[in-house]
Amino acid sequence: MRQAGRSLPEYRRVRADVPMLEACARPDMIVEITMQPVRRHGVDAAIYFSDIVVPLKAIGLDLDIKSGVGPVVADPVRDADGIKRLRELSPDDVPFVTEAVGTLVGELGTTPLIGFAGAPFTLASYLIEGGPSKNHERTKALMYGEPELWNDLMRRLSGITLEFLKVQIAAGAGAVQLFDSWVGALSAEDYRTSVLPHTSWIFERLGELDVPRIHFGVGTGELLSLLSEAGADVVGVDWRVPLDKAAQRVQPATALQGNLDPAALFAPWEVVAERAGDVLSRGRAAEGHIFNLGHGVLPDTDPDMLTRLTEFVHEESQT
């Protein structure tokens, strides 16, 4: 999740004069920001500080991350010529990743580092829409209307994503997470036809590398069995489906991650504790459970609430 987000004063301090994409390309910033939530909250794993659009920037696309908005693409990709601009990613395009991951693995010691990338559908949505989108209408127009172009785009994005994850794994990341944040916008049938073959391809290739693979999307209640079919070891669940129900929807031997509502952290502590306790007890129905929020930390979250939550989960999961 976007753990550091903007909830930590120390994060805001180091980011004050550094634009997001510059921070994502500077090993000193990556290391510091990745370590901040580990130091402050004592979480069990670190998530590599980056963004899903970093590999797209690295292959030369003109895009930026605007504060309070998200990724914005100067010249959206909407036709065959646009798709041709998506060349393959080489490890030499992202030397800062190799350097930062290497340093982090040393600093983290026994705490694992989770690497991540955006999944092809979610990346395609930013590229086609030109920025964050509520309805993904241009994305769906291409997907429904021009399946050959769509598949070409998805194949190219899958290659870039796989390579970006492989760079992180080669440098020492102990697990990887594929974020298909906006895929919940699709019906199961459209997901099966237009997305599943591509994410399956990525997970199959990652399977050769022997690191745990996590797959996450928002609003994916109806897609959980298909997301799991794509081949991850762990499926992330937002807050809309309780974990005992989610456990029945995924493939056998698949663990779950989640799924406390990030907005619940704005309620009084007793409510947070009760809800977190419920997540933990329902999570026992799953093959394995990584406690997490159902989506990223909201920027106005009280950091002390996160520390208290981490302590609570550690205490409760020992029993």
Q: Which amino acids are annotated catalytic?
A: 2, 6, 15, 51, 126
For ligand 1CP, the closer CB: 33 or 83: 33
For ligand 1CP, the closer CB: 136 or 166: 136
**Residue 38, both tokens:** 């580990």
**Cβ-Cβ contacts under 8 Å for 311 (sequence gap 6 or more):** 42
- Which residue, judged by CB position, is nearest to ligand 1CP in the bound state? 70
Instruction: For the CB of residue 34, give the shortest distance to ligand 1CP in the complex, in Å.
Output: 7
Q: Is the peptide bond before 259 cis (omega within 30 degrees of 0)?
A: yes
How far is the C-alpha of 102 from the C-alpha of 94, rounded, in Å? Answer: 13
How far is the C-alpha of 183 from the C-alpha of 217, rounded, in Å? Answer: 6
Residue 266 class from Cβ within 10 Å (0-12 exposed, 13-18 middle, 19+ buried)?
A: middle
For ligand 1CP, the closer CB: 56 or 279: 56
Instruction: For the CB of residue 299, give the shortest distance to ligand 1CP in the complex, in Å.
Output: 8
How far is the C-alpha of 164 from the C-alpha of 35, rounded, in Å? Answer: 21
Residue 319 class from Cβ within 10 Å (0-12 exposed, 13-18 middle, 19+ buried)?
A: exposed
Instruction: For the CB of residue 148, give the shortest distance to ligand 1CP in the complex, in Å.
Output: 26
How far is the C-alpha of 214 from the C-alpha of 1, rounded, in Å? Answer: 12
For ligand 1CP, the closer CB: 17 or 81: 17
> Interface with ligand 1CP by CB under 6 A: which residues?
1-6, 15, 20, 33, 47, 49-52, 65, 67, 70-71, 116, 122, 132, 179, 181, 295-296
Q: What angle do CA 311, 315, 319 make, to 5 degrees?
A: 160
Instruction: For the CB of residue 250, give the shortest distance to ligand 1CP in the complex, in Å.
Output: 19
Instruction: For the CB of residue 65, give the shortest distance to ligand 1CP in the complex, in Å.
Output: 5
For ligand 1CP, the closer CB: 159 or 262: 262
